[in-house]
Structure 1
């Protein structure tokens, strides 16, 4: 374990985890997340063009392919601006344009509002690009959302070039054993808050609806998929089981916190994980996108 990873895990256990355990007001949590995101390091020369479908670039970008990215935050917090560390670094490492989708947040807008917004964002992109020129990505809830969109696209003949996901939340039935086994080792997410969030965000949908639990979706002829997850996360088994369903490449990182890629610029493992993802994306560009 790197010294910085050990330090970060200790800090998160003392700060982020207790804060998550006490969280009650979604509005307050959004303000806290927005404020905290200002301290994440962003790559130099980043250009963020806000709007209905925000765009992130770091330098003159290649025309195709492009990345459609969905932010995390348990479907309750976050937005395109809070995740510029990840989207900006991926834009820099790949030379691609990243479209950072915005979607309505729960509990004001429960499921399937986020899924419907994801479908609409993809439809908007297909006015400019072929489906096979689009790479899907996301983290945590956004990773689950990207996977739910992938199932829809595979079923409707709009197969994308590929997908990557960081610690995705794929099972709102909460069937993963890691919710119990890693309840003490996860330095960010208290297991009981994951249970509460599932009830909060799914609205009237059953917990196994594939629009919120892509673990139960059908994926005819899926493209290549990369999933990264930390071994001590409560959501670890969401990634393991999803990778088994898809035949995906599963990359497990020892003792890394939930969505550690956000700590790029401080944590060596964050840059290494993003480089692994960029290599995967560039391979997709070379082998599947024409």
Structure 2
């Protein structure tokens, strides 16, 4: 691991994880995330972020775009926080490396809008992109954490309807809200960012009036989904994070997926591309994958 990763590990465990363990007010957590993103997750020079609408409001992020390719990127934040603004930096880093425009939808959050609001917004966004002229073969889905799980849930829906996109990538996706992954326990002490003991409480906010057995719904837990005729998929997770098994067990649903397990890195570490060489390396790998999915971008 790089020395930068060692520094981040100490700071994340002593500051970020402790703050998330204490904070129980979603409104304050959202404000804290917005402030953090303005300081830490900045976009590369030359990036442009414009407000727009594709089914739901969001941000169009670009950096010298080429061709007609679109990355539909769903932000993380446990379905209760995060926004296009918190993820402008990573969206711009992807745009810079691929030449694609990136749309980050401002999907509805719990507890004000519990399940299945986020999924419904994801479907509406994809449908709107197609209606606006983007062809499925020019769209790649992506996301991190809960946003990665949302992207996978959308992919399963689209595959079952016979209209899949060109591909999908995800960083540390949250794929199983039944909490059956062993790493939730075995990595609880090693995890740098997420306090494992808060997941049940967070899930209650997400479900709202839904029943606990609804966590098996593939719209919420894509580990329960089917993916007929799936396009190429690339998933990343860290060996030491509590959601590692959420990624590894997707092999059973997506046997042809490229699953990469990194070392002792923070949850959704590509967000830290300004600070971590490992984050930049992961983004470079992902950008190469995206270009392979999008022939128009690859040719430009």
State the TM-score bracket (shorter-chain normalisation). Answer: over 0.9
Point out where structure 2 has 5 or more consecutive residues left out of the alignment: none
- Counterpart of 2:149 (choices 133, 144, 147) is 144
DSSP-derived class of the 1:246 partner: coil
2: CA distance, partners of 1:229 / 1:41: 22
Match of 1:201 in 2: 206
Asked if residue 62 in structure 1 is aligned to residue 66 in structure 2, the reply is yes
- Say what the alpha-carbon RMSD is for the aligned residues: 1.5
The runs of at least 4 aligned residues of structure 1 exceeding 6 Å deviation read 287-290
Question: What is the DSSP-based 3-state SS (H/G/I as helix, E as strand, rest coil) of the residue aligned with 1:50?
Answer: strand
Q: Deviations over 1:144-165 (max 9, x none)?
A: 0000000110011211100000
In the other structure, the counterpart of 2:96 is 92
Contact 1:65–1:134 under 8 Å retained in 2: yes
Equivalent of residue 172 in structure 1, options 168, 177, 184: 177
1:267 corresponds, among 257, 262, 276, to 276
More moved, 142-151 vs 43-52 = 43-52
Q: Does 1:246 align with 2:254?
A: yes
2:185–2:242 contact (8 Å) kept in structure 1: yes
Distance in 2, Cα, partners of 1:119 & 1:242: 21
Partner SS state of residue 38, structure 1: helix
TM-score by length of 1: 0.97
Q: Which residue of 2 aligns with 1:42?
A: 43
Confirm or deny: 8 A CA contact 1:208 1:216 kept in the other structure: yes
Structure 1 SS opposite 2:5: helix
TM normalised by structure 2 equals 0.94
Compare 191-200 and 146-155 and name the one that shifted more: 191-200
1:187-240 per-position Cα deviation (integer Å, ceiling 9, x unaligned):
111111122212220230511111110000111111110000010000000000
Residue 36 of structure 1 aligns to a residue whose secondary structure is: helix
**Is 2:70–2:100's contact at 8 Å kept on the other side of the alignment?**
yes
- Give the deviation of 1:289 after TM superposition: 9.2
Cα gap change, 1:56 to 1:287, in 2 (>3 Å):
closer
Match of 1:213 among 201, 218, 221: 221
* Runs of at least 5 residues in structure 1 that lack an aligned partner in the other structure: none
